[in-house]
Structure 1
Amino acid sequence: MPWFVKIEEGIVDKVTFDQYVPAHKAYVQDLIAKGHQAKSGYWGELGGGMLLFQAASMDEAKVIVAQDPLVQNGCVKYKLHQWCVVVE
């Protein structure tokens, strides 16, 4: 399956953002359980973060990202890209 990356920037205050972090973590755990090999994290030196995951297509990736609680609750703006692995 192809890899996709959602690169995000937080657009709400930390208190608002943090209230959706547990739901985001549960969402990522569900992606892992479904075989999407998801990884989520934040930038150590900047605001924002990244979600790396596998999906069958860009259309499926868009659906997956739309279900992220951080997206659904307007906490982030993001860009979605297909990541083409060259070396494993």
Structure 2
Amino acid sequence: MAWFVKIEAGIVDKAVFDQHVPAHKAFVQELIDQGHQVSTGYWGRRGGGMLLFTADSMREAESIVSRDPLVINHCVTYDLYEWNVVMGSLLNDNKVMELT
């Protein structure tokens, strides 16, 4: 599986945003239960955050993001990127990926 990152910016008042956080957390737990590696969180200065996850393709990643309650309820705008990890603990056995 490849890594993907959704970088998001909040576009609604915090009170509205916070109404959808429990559903977002449940959504993330479903991804974990389905075997995706997932981490999510918000920026220290607030106003946005990031969802890091694995998927088989950009098409699957787009489908996953489209089901996020924060996206469905128009709480965020986002950019979605495939992220090529070249070194670190997210690679199997902490190996360095050969650049081609």
Instruction: Please tell me the TM-score bracket, short chain as reference.
Output: over 0.9
State the Cα RMSD in Å.
0.6
Name the count of aligned residue pairs: 88
Alignment of 1:1-88 (within 5 A): 1-88=1-88
**Which ranges of 4 or more aligned residues in structure 1 deviate by more than 6 Å?**
none
AA in 1 matched with 2:17: F
SS in 1 for 2:65: helix
- Superposed CA offset, 1:38-86 (max 9, x none): 1110000241000000000000000000000000000000000000000
Seq. identity, %: 66
Give me the whole-angstrom Cα distance separating, in 2, the residues matched to 1:45 and 1:16. 18
Structure 1 or 2, whichever has the larger Rg, is: 2
Task: Give structure 1 stretches of 5+ with no counterpart.
Answer: none
Taking structure 1 as the reference length, the TM-score comes to 0.98
Partner of 2:93 in structure 1?
Answer: none
Taking structure 2 as the reference length, the TM-score comes to 0.86
SS in 2 for 1:20: helix
Give me the whole-angstrom Cα distance separating, in 1, the residues matched to 2:46 and 2:14. 13
Task: Give structure 2 stretches of 5+ with no counterpart.
Answer: 89-100
- Superposed CA offset, 1:6-40 (max 9, x none): 00000000010000000000000000111111111
